[in-house]
Homo-oligomer: A and B are copies of this chain.
């Protein structure tokens, strides 16, 4: 019995990232408030102190999960496109398309962490910091849409902030229904999002 516990406590496969993955799944399934460190430890087959070896607190786990999702999305906007064949800087609509595709890829590859991020309501300092970063991200998207409107690539009869919200509403909805291994991969889904948002569904 004592030996089994030792085995359980010492069982491999739960490094920091492994604990984070299980915690995020539990937060999404049962809610952050309803998931205690004790319940997490049970789910992992670890002692609480084994979790505290990797994370200072439950809030710290949430913080790192939200940071992973936000860093992924921010990296997409930070990622510069190469110069065009003609040696010019890519125009704003090309950068926007690049961002939309990149965001779909982040959602698909980090589905649980982004799901958690999208449910954050600002109840704690950690959540409020995450919301601040989300709003900064939204402002960068709005600015990029505004640039593309100003350069004449995008219709300018829709408010840039509304465009940013509706377009990312479409992208964020992927967490509601996308399941890895389904019919569409991330590349195909990114094509679909770009096709609808930029070119529309109507055949002409």
Contacts and interface: CB of A to CB of B under 8 A. Distances in A.
Contacts of A79: none
B183 A173 contact: no
A203 B153 contact: yes
Interface stretch (A16-24, A82-90, A193-201): A193-201
Contacts of A183: 159
Contact of A162 (B189, B197, B198): B189
A69 to B, nearest CB: 16
DSSP class of A's interface residues: helix, strand, loop or mixed? helix
Interface of A: 31, 93, 152-159, 162-163, 165-174, 176-177, 183-184, 189, 192-193, 195-203
A153 B203 CA distance: 5
Contact of A165 (B31, B167, B173): B173
Contact of A202 (B93, B157, B166, B168): B93
Contacts of A176: 165, 169
A196 B197 contact: yes
Contact of A196 (B152, B174, B177, B200): B200
Contacts of A173: 165-166, 168-170, 172-173
Given A158-B196, A163-B201, A165-B176, 7 more contacts: A93-B202, A152-B203, A158-B192, A162-B192, A165-B177, A166-B170, A196-B200
Given A162-B184, A169-B176, A173-B168, A202 B195 contact: no
B177 A192 contact: no
Which residue among A167, A176, A193, A200 has the maximum number of chain B CB atoms within 10 Å of its CB?
A200
A193 B162 CA distance: 10
